[in-house]
Chain A
């Protein structure tokens, strides 16, 4: 490191320019090389800013307007906080959608993710057939949520589905409409989503467990700790970095939820979600661009939590 020409993470004398560090004695990068490097970063960065960060900023700006997508947006469209006022107090779908996202998050965080971690812990040992079990739990992870939705429709549909047929619930008197009844359909699609989520978390947790120093476990054993104690007192704490990743993934997944609800019933009648309200208001059915953007801002503000947690972890490990 000390003799390197350009060790990373040393402040360079010229801002933004590739340059040797204070310890480097000579500058070997030619002007041409510097330009090439600028382009290598600059082109992708420009695309990222135009198509991700500019729209993010625009969402915030548009949320203060009554823009309807016709013509240009200008100062005459400014309406202050009206969209937010209407969203919180007048728009009847907002709070249901918000709570559906909260339920989604709670379900993943307290049910699906812990099951995934539990599977990982069970399978992270000398066990006959562990590779087989891992493969089975991992299978749904490669499938899209749309396909997962279809596969579970075959379980849940009222007269043709497996569940009602298997439990004799197909008569008019006792039929259960798992996907149609707004009181239970959210939980039905959460079961379907969990089918995939559990395997995802299991794979990530398992790879983390593999990197835990085995002597820790042996020391705990020598101290007479049982498996339960060993996990919670020894393994779980040293897994802190992975635990953060799992928490971030779980939260982001809950905020992104869209596909299954949309494929089941376009996100209506019990399956409203913030993500779906955004598209329904601004793109598919109406063109309330300003109002849809206000919902997007709510989603953005919530997403900033896990994003900041994740970035600060990246910061910590790289510097």
Chain B
């Protein structure tokens, strides 16, 4: 910012126009969110009386948030997401880093082909595979192993119907498989920048490959792993499609997919829609506030290198 000041101490008209344009655009961009916040804070009685385009006459309140939070039982849906997303992120990173490690640190005939299978798999629209996948889920038996009860919701450890369909583990699985494609692509790009001499000298020293992967290569990939964990968590949190199709019990759905049922049932006016949408947006917004660097690093690692 000082460079401009040094070069041109007087105000340049081009800069004024540029800033004017950017401020206008920024206002346009932020407005829908601002409007959602404003609507969510107004009691419905107030908007009915004065219309949506009015100043609050009786002040703002959190009543809409309370209503949505308790009536729609949102806490359980966050829990549903958490039960799926946390193991999925960890397992995706483990699997993807294994493939990336084996394909970048060692040479074998099919490593490029392997990377392509993973990369291409992630680029497919999910709807291309959904019809057979749905049948596979309905036809795959899974042992029933008891469940963990929290409040009025029960979390089956494996399955409660003996099938992969309609299970946390099923949704977790498809996220892992789908995101491993993407994570493998990104991590292998990152691992290519690690000198192979490190791996080679470790082998000469007699270290096993598992040890090299876990103790040497993974620690070197920490920035990439942090970026990917942030990105994958957001992706899985935001996913709507898989659980919509592969899960039929509404109360078991993760929060983003659950919104499809909640919108008609509990979000009966715009103020409640606003409050519900913002409550569901809190985790991604926390990512935005605290982990923006990691999120952006994850996005750009996948696109600008390789």
Contact = CB atoms under 8 A, between A and B. Distances in A.
Contacts of A104: none
Contact of B108 (A18, A32, A33, A245): A18
Nearest to B297: A207
Interface stretch (A54-62, A76-84, A216-224): A54-62
A240 interface: no
A16 B299 contact: no
A44 B95 contact: yes
B288 A307 contact: no
Contact of A208 (B21, B109, B304): B304
A69 interface: yes
Contact of A59 (B95, B129, B197, B277): B129
B280 A147 contact: yes
A200 B299 contact: yes
Interface in B97-114: 98-99, 101-112, 114
B290 to A, nearest CB: 11
Nearest to A264: B263
A279 B125 contact: no
A6 B112 CA distance: 15
Interface string B257-298: 001100100010110011011001100110110001001100
Interface stretch (A85-93, A106-114, A130-138, A180-188): A130-138
Interface in A211-261: 211, 241-242, 245-246, 248-249, 252, 255-256, 258-259
Interface in A120-146: 122-123, 126-129, 132-133, 135-146
Given A289-B135, A306-B123, A318-B306, A259 B114 contact: no
Contacts of A248: 123
B26 A211 contact: no
Contacts of B109: 11-12, 15-17
Contact of B125 (A6, A162, A299, A317): A299
Given A36-B209, A138-B292, A300-B124, A51 B29 contact: no
Nearest to B54: A165
A32 B208 CA distance: 8
B123 A259 contact: no
Contacts of B119: 310-311, 314
Contacts of A123: 22
B200 A4 contact: yes
A278 B269 contact: no
A139 B126 contact: no
A263 B107 contact: no
Nearest to B36: A151
A179 B270 CA distance: 14
Contacts of B123: 248, 252, 303, 306-307, 310
B107 A12 contact: yes
Name the prevailing secondary structure of the A interface residues.
helix
Interface string B43-79: 0000100011100000000000000000000000000
A319 B112 contact: yes
A28 interface: yes
Interface in B199-218: 200, 203-204, 208-210, 213
Contacts of B273: 150, 153-154
Which of A147, A199, A263, A306 has its CB near the most chain B CB atoms (within 10 A)?
A147
Contacts of A242: 303-304
7 cross-chain pairs, A with B, having the tightest CB-CB distances, nearest first: A144-B238, A58-B132, A150-B277, A55-B129, A40-B98, A207-B300, A55-B132
Interface residues of A, number: 116
Contacts of A274: 127
A40 B101 contact: yes
Contacts of A262: 240, 244, 260
Interface of B: 1, 3-4, 18-19, 21-22, 25-26, 29-30, 32-33, 35-36, 39, 47, 51-53, 95-96, 98-99, 101-112, 114-121, 123-136, 173-174, 176-178, 180-181, 184-185, 192, 196-197, 200, 203-204, 208-210, 213, 234, 237-241, 244-245, 256, 259-260, 263, 267, 269-270, 273-274, 276-277, 280-281, 284-285, 287-288, 292, 295-296, 299-300, 303-304, 306
Nearest to B277: A150
17 contacts: A8-B105, A28-B204, A40-B213, A48-B180, A59-B131, A122-B18, A144-B239, A144-B240, A147-B280, A147-B281, A150-B259, A151-B35, A165-B52, A256-B125, A258-B241, A274-B127, A293-B131
A146 B208 contact: no
Nearest to B230: A142
A282 interface: yes
A37 B33 contact: no
A318 B263 CA distance: 47
Given A37-B102, A45-B114, A126-B1, A62 B238 contact: no
B284 A143 contact: yes
A127 B4 contact: yes
Contact of A263 (B114, B210, B259, B270): B259
B200 A5 contact: yes
Given A8-B105, A126-B1, A150-B277, 6 more contacts: A5-B204, A9-B107, A138-B292, A204-B300, A242-B304, A283-B134
A261 to B, nearest CB: 11
Contacts of B22: 122-123, 129, 133
Contact of A307 (B98, B106, B124): B124
